[in-house]
Structure formats: structure tokens, C-alpha cells
Structure 1
Amino acid sequence: MNFTPIEELFHKFDETALILQEELACTYLDALGETGENFFHGNVVQEEVSELSRKRLSRQYHEFSLEKYSKEDIRKAFQLAILKGMKENIQPNHQMTPDAVGMFVSYLIGKFTNNNYELSMIDPAAGTGNLLFTILNHLSDKRISAYGVDIDETLIRLSYSGANLQEHSVQFFNQDSLEPLFIDPADIAVSDLPVGYYPNDVRAADYELAADEGHSFSHHLFIEQSITHVKPGGYLFFIIPNGLFLSEEASKLNDYLKKTTHIQGMVQLPLSMFKSEAAAKSILILQKTKEGVTPPKNALLVDLPKLSDRRATESVMNKIDAWFKEEK
């Protein structure tokens, strides 16, 4: 059979992960992280694998060559295997940013940092790293130092394996992202915000956006943490729920953003991307305040059409280009 490179890679990741899942008595996602590490090293690094399985696996790893595949093919194939694992073990925090969204965020970052060749970037809710890797793959003309943080050990392991396979130099931190981060302020923060309540009220009390009563919104705290960890004048790109500014804590969030940032724009993503209108999201673009940096005369406000509608998409892209010519 003639497989595409993505299909070929997916079958390699899947087949070897299934063997390791049985050998190590672990979940598919954990086994996928392990096999990703093996592909990178070219051999079986787990000592507890039986001799028979070791031979079967070694053949796959020795035949594998990173040079044969593009970074995007590797990312997409690894992503497909992760999605398979997530279907077996669904958890609310195991959500992956859709490719189309990651690509559009990459496009926006490229536009806003047009004159910068070297950048540092942090994702405080890195998850499987898919958003980070999409950006790094699509902004290959820039030298980006990237940092990813996530509390979930399985997800950070998958991020680590994915970074190695795509040969991206990313520093990952397995910790609660809302605890102190020992990372220098970055030029850019990007995050598909985890929506919900933060259970640690003691830690939340250190934030300006902590709720006056009860648990605080974790997505509000992630916004504040990101702003804290971006350099003055740096940009922030958040994938937010459309109802972000409609909650009971919205006025406090609004006041905080007015004080610390300039709102550059909001891009509403197509409703067709989401299961329901209630699940729909937008991209919020902020710039941290800095002496000499002024807010735009008019914020960039765009509703993205279905990306399959070429004419409507071209019209929106022209509108964005015109905004950059006028404002930047």
C-alpha cells in the first residue's frame, strides 16, 4: 500500500506504542511518550521490555530517520496518535488546539513581530505542545527560544518527545503554572487558556485577579501570570472562550487589562470549528504596556469565515493587511 508520510509515521508510532503499552502496563498516551523517546534515540531505552518485543521494536527504531520526514509531517502524525490515545482516556484538560487555529496564531505572531528575527516565547499551558510546535514550524525563518509549562506529567512527556522528534529546542517545566515560574520574561506569551476554577485559594490570593469569594477562574489567573512573564512591549496571544468578558469577574479582568496592556485586537474563530456556539472561541491579542508604546487607534476586530470559503478568507486577510499598514 502507498501511505502518505503522515500515515506511514502514524502507523509506526501507533504500532510501537501498542507494544510498549502491553510491555510496560501503562496507558496508550504514556506508551506513546516512551516510543517517541525511542524513535529519537534509535533504540529501546526501557529496561523492562522483553527480549522478543525488544527485537520487534528495535527494527522499527533503527529503520526510522528524522531526515526523511518534514517537521510538520512528524507533528501531525504524532498528533493523530495522541488524539487516538485521548479518545480512550478522555480528561477535560486533555484538549488539543486545532491545527487551523495554531496556524492562524502563527500568522498573527509573524505579522506582529515582522521586524524581529530572534524571539523568546512561553506557553504556560503547553499541554501536548501542539500549539507551540505549530508556531515553531510555521515561523521557521525566526530563531525562537521556547518554554512550555504544564502540570500534567503525561502531557509534558508527550511535549518533550514531540520536541525531540521535530528537533525543536524547547525547555519544558512540569509544574503548576500558577506557582512561581523560574523563567525570564519572554517577548511573546501564547496560550490556549485552560478554562475552569483554580482549586488552590491560598496561591490564588497572590493574584490581582483572584475572586473575592470562592475559587478563582484559572483562565483569568493564567492571563495575569502570562502578562507578568512577558517583557514590557511584548505581545500575548490567548485563545479564549467567547464569553470571557461576560462573566461575573469580567469587570475586574477588564480593569486589569486596561492597566497592564493595550488591546491590539480580537479575532473570532469560525463557529463551524466548534461543537456548539457555547464552546466557540476567539484569539485575543494584547501588548504589555511600555513607555513610548501607544495603543492602536482602532483595535483589529475580525470574524474569521470558514477557512474553506476562499473568497471570504481572502477578504479578511486583506482587511488584516490594511490594518497593519495603518497601525504598524
Structure 2
Amino acid sequence: MNSTPVEELFTVFNETAMIIQEELACTYLEALAETGENIFHGSILQEELSELTVKRLRKNYETIQMENYSKEEIRKSIQLAILKGMNELIQPNHQMTPDAIGLLIGYLVDKFVQKNEFRLLDPAVGTGNLLTTVINQQQNKMVEATGIDIDDILIKLSYVNANLQQHPIQFFNQDSLESLFIEKADVVVSDLPVGYYPNDLRASEYEMKADQGHTFAHHLFIEQSVRHVKEGGYLFFIVPNGLFESEQASKLHEYIKKYTNIQGFLQLPQSIFKNEKAAKSIFILQKKGEGVKPPKQVLLVHLPSLSKTVEVEKILNKIDIWFKENK
């Protein structure tokens, strides 16, 4: 049976990661980052491996030629391997953005951003899957990107992911809510980490800080993103459906009204998520600035199940019509 290019690549990532994992007694995700580095550099970088293991790895690596695969094939095969590794280590902050959502955000960024060259930021980059999905969707555009994440394993996977897909992305391994020394972006995309931010001292430097107790991290991420995007720049956030229903929602409302124009709110299909509580939406903002006008009307969409092609087509037509009338 013939396997697809994605399956071929996944097999090599998976088998070599398992070989490294066994010999170095590390996690699968750590081993995956190591094997990704080997493939990128075209040599085996782990000096502590036995001769037999080095031979086994070489034999596997020789079965593939990276230049024969498209960026999307590389991204999808790494994504499959990362998902396998995450199933072993279920941590709530290690959830990967579903592909369908990444592709939709990539499509929206392509529609909204009319520049041929732009700078993209993801302040909660994780494994880089959302960021590289969006970049791969930008047809004939030059995109330079920045990704930030506090988790050192995830940022290493991001870096390997970007290298293998040959994307110019700068990565910073830090708490994104601390001071960022980065150039302002034209566009922000982010699957916002939801929950409370434990560092009250740091949170006190934000306009959205809670009057008492911890502040919501996802609110602070929105504020930090608005600070680091240019005037007129766009922000695409994946947010919980109940974003405006919490006890801290009034502060969020005030902040958004003061600094941005809401462009759109697209409720994602329930079928993508485990349960109603986990359901999310895409929230689109534009930072205010000179000559930046709000849309005549906000784009409000309730997306059908993405397997219903005819209904999805209707929604995409509705988005096209909205663009003609508002942009």
C-alpha cells in the first residue's frame, strides 16, 4: 500500500523520536525536537548515542529528502508526531489548535491584510502549528514572524518546525506578559491561554488588572498584543465563547472600546470541541490610529460544522460580501 507524503515523513519523525527517547530516557516530545534538529542539520547531533543507534537513525533519515516535501506536508507530519507526544502528557496548556481553525485564521489574515510584506506575532506560540499554518496560507506574501512561549520544550518544537518549513521566525523563550523587546507587528494571531495569571505584581502594570485576586491571563494577553501591534494592525484571537460573561468582563470591554475597533466575532462549530464549555470563537480587532475607521457593521458569523461543505461555502460568500461593503 502506498503511503502519502505526510505519512512517510511522520513515520520517520516517529520512529527516530522513539529510538532517541529510548536511548536518552527523555520524553517523546523532547526526542522529537532532537530528531527534528538532526534532520534540519543533516547530521546526528547527540554525542551520547551508541554507534548502533546512530546507524539506525542514519538508515531512517536516508529514506527521505526534505526538499521533496511541501511546507504543509512537513507541518502536518510534525503536527501528527506532536499530537502523539501530547497524548502521553496531557497538560491543559499543551493543547494544539485544531487544523480547521488554523486554516480559517490563515484565510482571514489573507483577506484582511492587504500588504505584500508584513510582520506577524504569536505571543503564545506553543509548538508553532497555528503560526506556520497562517504563514503557509499567505499566497505570494513575505511574512516575518515572532513567536513567544514560556515552555522550553514547546518553543524548541516551534523552532524545529519553522526551520524544517524554512520560515524566518524569531523565537523568545519567556513569559509573554513580562516586558517584550520586539519590533511592533502588523498582525497578531493567538490561541489565547485561558485562566488566571499568577503574577499579581506584573499584572498590576496592566490597565485590565483585576480589582482583587488574580487577573485573567487571556485578558492580559489581549492587552499585551494591542501594545505590540502597529496602529491599524489586526489581531486575530481564539477566545472562549463566554469571553464577555466573566466578572472581569467590564474591564475588557472598556479596554477594547478605548484602543480598538471590533471587526468580527466568528463562533466556531461546536463539533470541533469536546464539550460546550470548551467551545471557542475567533475574535478580530483592529488597533485604532490615524485614518483607521470602524467597519460599518461588525462581521458576526456562526460557523456550521466544517464538514458541511455547502453551508461553509455560504458563510465564506457572506464573508466576501462583508469585505466588499466594509473594506
Structure 2-normalised TM-score? 0.98
> 1:2 aligns to what?
2
TM alignment of 1:44-123, pairs within 5 A: 44-113=44-113, 115-123=114-122
> 1:207 aligns to what?
206
Counterpart of 2:59 in structure 1: which amino acid?
Answer: R
Structure 1 segments, 4+ long, off by >6 Å, are none
Looking at structure 2, the residues matched to 138 and 122 of structure 1 have their Cα atoms a distance apart, in angstroms, of 15
Looking at structure 1, the residues matched to 118 and 64 of structure 2 have their Cα atoms a distance apart, in angstroms, of 32
Q: Structure 1 residue 19 and structure 2 residue 29: aligned? A: no
| 1:196-243 deviation line (CA, Å, top 9, x unaligned) | 111111111111111111111000000000000000110000000000
Counterpart of 2:306 in structure 1: which amino acid?
Answer: L
Contact 1:43 1:62 in 2 (8 A): no
TM alignment of 1:170-189, pairs within 5 A: 170-189=169-188
TM alignment of 1:110-149, pairs within 5 A: 110-113=110-113, 115-149=114-148
| 1:134-178 deviation line (CA, Å, top 9, x unaligned) | 011111411001000000000001001111111111100000010
| 1:28-53 deviation line (CA, Å, top 9, x unaligned) | 00000000000111111111111110
Pairwise CA distance, 1:22: 1.4
Counterpart of 2:285 in structure 1: which amino acid?
Answer: L
1:126 aligned counterpart, secondary structure: coil
Counterpart of 1:83 in structure 2: which amino acid?
Answer: L
Pairwise CA distance, 1:62: 3.7
Contact 1:262 1:289 in 2 (8 A): yes
Contact 2:75 2:129 in 1 (8 A): yes
> 1:220 aligns to what?
219
> 1:283 aligns to what?
282
The unaligned stretches of length 5 or more in structure 2 are none
> 2:240 aligns to what?
241
Looking at structure 2, the residues matched to 65 and 170 of structure 1 have their Cα atoms a distance apart, in angstroms, of 23
Q: Percent identity?
A: 65
Looking at structure 2, the residues matched to 204 and 142 of structure 1 have their Cα atoms a distance apart, in angstroms, of 36
> 1:35 aligns to what?
35
Counterpart of 2:52 in structure 1: which amino acid?
Answer: L
Contact 1:123 1:189 in 2 (8 A): yes
Looking at structure 2, the residues matched to 205 and 162 of structure 1 have their Cα atoms a distance apart, in angstroms, of 35
2:93 aligned counterpart, secondary structure: coil
Counterpart of 1:95 in structure 2: which amino acid?
Answer: Q
Q: How big is the alpha-carbon RMSD for the aligned residues of Structure 1 and Structure 2?
A: 0.8
The unaligned stretches of length 5 or more in structure 1 are none
Counterpart of 2:161 in structure 1: which amino acid?
Answer: G
Counterpart of 2:35 in structure 1: which amino acid?
Answer: T
Looking at structure 2, the residues matched to 140 and 108 of structure 1 have their Cα atoms a distance apart, in angstroms, of 12
Question: Alignment length, in residue pairs?
Answer: 327
Contact 1:36 1:161 in 2 (8 A): yes
| 1:118-141 deviation line (CA, Å, top 9, x unaligned) | 000000000000000101111141
Counterpart of 1:10 in structure 2: which amino acid?
Answer: F
Counterpart of 2:123 in structure 1: which amino acid?
Answer: P
1:93 aligned counterpart, secondary structure: helix
Structure 1-normalised TM-score? 0.98
Looking at structure 1, the residues matched to 161 and 139 of structure 2 have their Cα atoms a distance apart, in angstroms, of 16
Contact 2:9 2:64 in 1 (8 A): no
